[in-house]
């Protein structure tokens, strides 16, 4: 353990299951200093490293014993147990959002999904490092009971199992659901949040952290110069219209290549856009590549935009008319926050143009700033879908940085 780390006045944190870095970006903006982050996917880690270790948002004092590359908690526990044990009592916070596919109410909930067990690795890290605080983010389904097998009792929500284990390790645990739109994120994304605090830090006059958060949320928005009302989608991505910016070639030629939005920063900007563009200068954000839609697909999108109610998923009758079996297709409502983004880019259609969103538009809706570059493949398919984390997946899975920042600031007030 270096003297530099011991002398820090700022809180030090470790980010587990970091993905492309939404949680870390928010914590860094809240004044926290990172020690290291663990992410198993090479593409997601390349985005993380580019921005948060080497780039403009760097705030990590990475230990020499840990390579700056993708890895798993299991590998960390197997290969660096001695170094981890030396961190006991030296780290203020462990943050993380264990993979949530097995818990998601929008997907196939599966109590036996092996990814559900990753929260056990989170708990093992907590036991070894013993930080003052814990932050755990997950989907709403993390706190829902699994449907029981025939003739058997319902399984406990996984959140209760995790909470009980953390309490045995000496933490007072608080939980709640938070809507990201309440913290300036232009998205109605509701997430389950668990906050753990070492019991010896919880005094008799201690307030529930979620009550503090509710009472300071307005101050957070004012301090960030964000609107006090929910941010609507058009205020987040209205400057990225193809009709306003025109097109540029991203790669290849006119026939076979991809096109991208030829972005020009508008003179007039929404409050939200001023926050997102704050450090970007005149620079064009990356990940503006447009999907190559077939003419038939474009016509289908136009018809969907004609018959749907913006912000509401297509009904069974509408899906029958369009000729799709896809369960979730929604056209964005320009005057409201977006529905929850997923890792599937064709779940949401643009509010006025017959296309899916670009990665940058999704990043804007997640509250990533324009100077945060997303790297890697754009999409992947087939068997690789469960093995790779391309750009759309990285952004769809991320913790919105504005929510993470609000949580990071909250812990400094406790």
Which residues have a catalytic role annotated?
100
Sequence-distant (≥ 6) Cβ neighbours of residue 408 within 8 angstroms: 26, 27, 29, 30, 31, 32
**Which of left, alpha, beta for 132 (phi over 0: left; psi -120 to 50: alpha)?**
alpha
CA distance 41 to 69: 9
CA distances 21 to 49, 97, 347, Å, are 9, 11, 23
Distance of alpha carbon 88 from alpha carbon 72, whole angstroms:
20
Give helix 401-413 / helix 209-223 axis angle, nearest 10°. 120
What token pair was written down for 360? Answer: 């940058």
Three-class SS state of 134 = strand
275 strand-pairing partners: none
> Which residue do the tokens 């952290």 mark?
209
Radius of gyration of the chain (CA): 22
178-183, Cβ contacts within 8 angstroms, sequence gap of 24 or more: 178/210, 178/213, 178/403, 180/367, 180/400, 180/402, 180/403, 181/230, 181/231, 181/337, 182/217, 182/230, 183/217, 183/220, 183/221, 183/400, 183/402, 183/403, 183/406
What is the Cα–Cα distance from 357 to 354, expressed in whole angstroms?
10
d(CA 328, CA 346): 9
């Amino acid at each position: 353990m270096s003297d530099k780390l011991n002398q820090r006045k700022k809180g030090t944190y470790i980010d587990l299951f970091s993905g492309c870095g939404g949680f870390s970006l928010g914590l860094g903006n809240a004044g926290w200093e990172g020690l290291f982050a663990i992410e198993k996917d090479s593409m997601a880690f390349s985005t993380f490293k580019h921005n948060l270790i080497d780039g403009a948002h760097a705030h990590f004092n990475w230990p020499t014993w840990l390579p700056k590359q993708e890895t798993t908690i299991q590998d960390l526990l197997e290969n660096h147990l001695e170094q981890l044990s030396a961190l006991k009592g030296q780290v203020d916070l462990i943050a993380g959002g264990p993979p949530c596919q097995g818990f998601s109410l929008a997907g196939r909930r599966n109590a036996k999904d092996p990814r559900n067990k990753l929260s056990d690795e989170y708990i093992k890290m907590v036991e070894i490092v013993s930080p003052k605080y814990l932050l755990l983010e997950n989907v709403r389904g993390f706190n829902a009971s699994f449907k029981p097998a025939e003739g058997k009792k319902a399984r406990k929500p996984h959140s209760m199992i995790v909470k009980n284990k953390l309490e045995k390790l000496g933490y007072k645990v608080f939980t709640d659901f938070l809507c990201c739109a309440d913290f300036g994120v232009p998205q109605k994304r509701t997430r389950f949040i668990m906050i753990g605090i070492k019991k010896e830090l919880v005094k008799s006059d201690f307030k529930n952290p979620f009550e503090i958060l509710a009472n300071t949320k307005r101050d957070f928005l004012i301090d960030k110069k964000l609107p006090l009302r929910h941010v609507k989608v058009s205020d987040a991505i209205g400057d990225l219209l193809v009709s306003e910016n025109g097109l540029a070639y991203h790669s290849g030629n006119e026939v076979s290549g991809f096109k991208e939005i030829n972005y020009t920063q508008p003179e007039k900007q929404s409050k939200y856009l001023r926050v997102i563009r704050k450090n970007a200068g005149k620079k064009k954000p990356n990940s503006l590549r447009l999907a190559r839609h077939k003419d038939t697909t474009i016509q289908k999108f136009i018809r969907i935009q004609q018959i749907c109610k913006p912000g509401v998923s297509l009904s069974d009758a509408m899906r029958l008319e369009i000729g799709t079996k896809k369960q979730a297709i929604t056209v964005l409502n320009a005057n409201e926050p977006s529905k929850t983004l997923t890792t599937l880019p064709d779940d949401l259609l643009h509010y006025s143009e017959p296309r899916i969103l670009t990665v940058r538009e999704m990043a804007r809706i997640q509250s990533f700033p324009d100077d945060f570059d997303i790297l890697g493949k754009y999409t992947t398919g087939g068997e690789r879908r469960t093995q790779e984390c391309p750009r759309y997946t990285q952004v769809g899975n991320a913790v919105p940085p504005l929510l993470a920042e609000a949580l990071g600031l909250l812990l400094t007030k406790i």
